[in-house]
Homo-oligomer: A and B are copies of this chain.
């Protein structure tokens, strides 16, 4: 087992699936010779040729639309959207088409496609290379939305996504691409798309988070444990839609306190859904208000570093919220 970062893990997941299944292919902008703007697909065109790793025109509706068409004719395409901010032109093909083929044909047509999209704030990315777009897609039955955080999960879930007969939107927080390395199993390892992951057990408060914020949350949780003996249970949904409610509810039923953290603009974010589920299903267990932390309700992160940093929930703010909750 080798140590890999998120980027390498996703790369490997793609390569292994393409090796073991001829119908798996990649299409998107600059995925070929360039190997993707983040280098996720580096070397794949050399190995699999220019058709199975296809540079498309700059046309996101086409990318997803043609992926749908490929999938109904025997292929398992992995479509790359260069930045999640540029997914809107493909919105119709995703929410009205891919997500509804199966239902509207009463189960006759499946759409086994995976759509990869790097999201999240990154220095210099500014308004259009920073957005957390998950909420746009988490009200669409028929679609699965996954957002793994750690390399091994990401690789295994990518494999599950590619093998899944349903359309899967696969979100990658681009600021975590090279953030950490961990052991990533070589092959076979699959993580299902309907299970949250408990990263850390604890009886005092529950924190639900994903992406970059999950790292910060885990850090702060460690600190609070060490310094103050506050034990945080940290739950990562991994799949945002449909979500594993059970694991989250069980945790909150144990701790009685919930903090949800994401990097998205707070109002209307997926955090709201999590809070709503908990306040309906675990109300009797709650000992404190469900608190959400997120980015402020401004369009997106700014280019200038000081404003960008201000946009992203900081470790300090997260610590303050966790403390507030623990002491409630």
| Chain A residues in the interface with B (C-beta under 8 A) | 61, 85, 88-89, 91-92, 95-96, 99-100, 103-104, 127-128, 135-136, 138-142, 241-243, 264-265, 267-273, 275-281, 283-284, 286, 288-292, 297-300
Contact = CB atoms under 8 A, between A and B. Distances in A.
Contacts of A140: 265, 268, 299
Contacts of A127: 100, 103-104
A299 B100 contact: yes
29 contacts: A89-B91, A91-B136, A95-B136, A103-B127, A103-B299, A104-B299, A135-B135, A135-B139, A135-B268, A136-B136, A138-B267, A139-B265, A140-B265, A141-B297, A142-B299, A241-B267, A243-B267, A267-B273, A268-B273, A271-B276, A272-B275, A272-B276, A275-B280, A278-B279, A279-B279, A279-B286, A279-B289, A280-B291, A283-B288
Ranked 9 nearest A-B pairs via Cβ: A139-B268, A283-B289, A88-B92, A279-B279, A275-B276, A272-B276, A138-B268, A135-B139, A272-B273
A104 B300 CA distance: 9
A281 B275 CA distance: 12
A96 B126 CA distance: 13
